[in-house]
Every structure is written in C-alpha cells, then in structure tokens.
Copies of this chain bind each other. A is one copy, B any other.
C-alpha cells in the first residue's frame, strides 16, 4: 500500500499556562493507507511541527517532512525505516523535522499493525508484552507541604512508585530542596520508590547539582533525572561518578538515536528515558532499548500526555522483562485522556502492559476531540498550505 494522507490535529486545553505540564496541548497525527488508519502523537509544539510538514521546499537538504512521506510505499517495518532515513536526509537542515516525524512514524506502526493484525511490539520482534510497574508522575508542590500531599495522593491511588518533577527544585536553596525530597519520602512511606526530576535546572553546573546529592541519598531517591541540559554529557558523567546510590536518568530530550546513545556511552546514566514522540518514533526508541540492554542500562519510557503516546512508548521495551519501571501520566489534563476512547488501566498487581490488540491497540475517535481542536491556517504566497482537517 501507499501512504495516502497525513493529517495533523492541533488540540489544546482552553487555558494553557507556563506550568511544566506537557499535557496542556497535543498534536495528533492520522495516517491513511490501503483502507487502514493509524494514529500517532508528536510530543512537540504543534504549530512549528505542522509547519515542518507543510512548509515550502528550501533546498535539497531542507525539504518539508511531507516530501519524504506522502505517496511512499508501506508494506512492512523496513519501509518505515527507509522513510525515516529519507526524512533524516532530505530534512537534514529542518530542525523541527524530528519532532514532526515522530508522530507520523508512530502512526505508521499503528497502521501497519491494523493491516497485519499484529501489535507493534510483535512487529518489533518481541514474543511477549511484559507488564510494567507504572510510577505516578507529578510535579513538586510549591511548598513541601504540597509535595507531601501529592506523595500521599500517589500512595492513596495505589502507586508504590512516584516521580516528582520540576516545581521549585533548584530555584532556591539546597536546604529547601531537601525539605521537598523528605516530604516526598514521607508521603510515599518507607517502602515507596522515589524518583526525582529536576528538568535541566542546573544547565551544566555539576557543583550545584552535587549539593543536592546528600539529601537525595538521605531520602532514598532511586534516580535523579535531567540535572543538566540534554547534551551536557560531561556534566552527566562527572555527577554520575559522585552520585553513589542515586543513579542519573535522562534522555527525554533526545531527538535522534545518537543523542540517547551518547547519554549512555558518554554521560554514564543508569536509566535512559525515551519519548517516542520526539526521538523519531518507535523504531529509534527500540534501537535505544537494544543499546541500553547491551550496556546494562535500564530503559524507561518518557510519557506525560495521552494513553496513545503511552502505548507507543511501551512498545520499544515491551519484551524486556527486567526493564520493569514505566512512566504513567499521574494527573493529565482532560484533553490527554480524551484522545483515546480506551485507556491503559492498571491490573490487579498495579501493572500495565503494551496492549495485545493490533497496532498501538488504542481507540481514537477524532470526532470526540472537537471541543479541543485549535483551528489553524497557514497561507504562503496566497496559497493555503494548511487548514485544520475535518474531524469526520
């Protein structure tokens, strides 16, 4: 079959704020080919990502993503890999292309799964979809008391593991940060799994990050996530040599396979976290999982948005039984939950797994998303390059 159409739907909550919650808007991708339909999601700024698909040609190495996708053959996983290489080459100088392509790639796997009646993880070569233990993912509170409250809420919701992110950490003193870490530990109780995400707050400053290590160790944090900018490998390595029981985690910023591999090989992280909506989709994420396994590093998904993205993010390591932790959006905005009609709910053991249903195994009803659609229109030289497609 051939790829007939790629439609982008820019979705948003009515009000979007500067809080770190990435589920406030979304860019849903629908691909059609051979009578089948697949869905994906870019974890990216919607407008620039749409522009990267529809923009006019700049030159041979700065072509719109559409030039490498529309009309292409799609008969198997090798075609997805071939198209990915074409995008990388023809859109080499179009920076946003990787984010745009990520959602398209995901949708191609979903569509191929429908056509073959196979789940994506099976097409990736896995025999089983092993259950994962989700951690509750929330932001730190503005105060330690709020953080305590959120940790208690995680536990009360049946999560033994919880990740606290961003908020005030690193903005004021290490002493105040300690209070947040200890509040999180208290709320999670002594047997809870505590994960801490500081959202690149220390840029590349190893000393400022190291100041927080004693408190993180005292609070028994399993990992410290993204202390530095995504490609500050030397800083990662330097801190990892001093971090003792706390392992470093990172990788969500990777927008290609190399960046993730380098964070492992040069940055010495203990956990590599991949967002399929940024790294170029499921294919490169699977390659990261292979590399992580070979290096004794644990693969973890990065997912803060919909259950469509959650299913996609589980596929690359669905077959790795020992890589058991997974991120689970703890309190996403209603939009993120509305994207799929079905959801990945925890089983009796509190675990989730990549579905056995074909493709990504999630049901998307575009028409139901009408309340969230952001009408968008792009005109160049008087020509309409993009208008929000019909939801029907």
Contacts and interface: CB of A to CB of B under 8 A. Distances in A.
Interface string A9-29: 010100011111110110000
A96 B93 contact: no
B95 A99 contact: yes
Contacts of A59: 16-22, 24-25
A369 interface: no
Interface residues on chain A, size class: 35 or more
A272 to B, nearest CB: 16
A232 interface: yes
B199 A45 contact: no
A83 interface: no
A226 to B, nearest CB: 10
Given A21-B59, A85-B203, 16 more contacts: A18-B57, A20-B59, A20-B61, A22-B93, A43-B93, A45-B55, A47-B378, A56-B374, A88-B203, A89-B200, A92-B199, A95-B96, A262-B266, A266-B266, A374-B381, A378-B379
27 contacts: A12-B56, A16-B57, A16-B58, A19-B59, A20-B61, A21-B60, A22-B58, A22-B62, A24-B58, A45-B62, A45-B94, A46-B55, A47-B385, A48-B51, A50-B51, A51-B51, A60-B166, A88-B229, A89-B200, A92-B199, A92-B200, A92-B230, A93-B253, A266-B266, A376-B378, A376-B381, A377-B380
A63 interface: yes
Which 3 residue pairs are nearest across A and B when measured between Cβ atoms?
A47-B55, A96-B96, A231-B258
A255 to B, nearest CB: 6
Contacts of A162: none
Interface string A343-385: 0000000000000000000000000000000111111111001
A309 interface: no
A391 B225 CA distance: 47
A52 interface: yes
A232 B261 CA distance: 10
A224 to B, nearest CB: 18
Contacts of A22: 58-59, 61-62, 93
A61 B197 CA distance: 14
Contacts of A47: 51, 54-56, 378, 380, 385
Contact of A233 (B56, B89, B262): B262
Nearest to A92: B200
Nearest to A94: B45
Interface string A226-248: 00011111000000000000000
Given A255-B95, A258-B229, A379 B381 contact: no
A195 to B, nearest CB: 18
Interface string A174-205: 00000000000000000000000001100100
A89 B253 CA distance: 12
A260 B65 CA distance: 25
A94 to B, nearest CB: 5
A259 interface: yes
Nearest to A252: B93
A256 interface: yes
A233 to B, nearest CB: 7
A379 B380 contact: no
Nearest to A62: B45
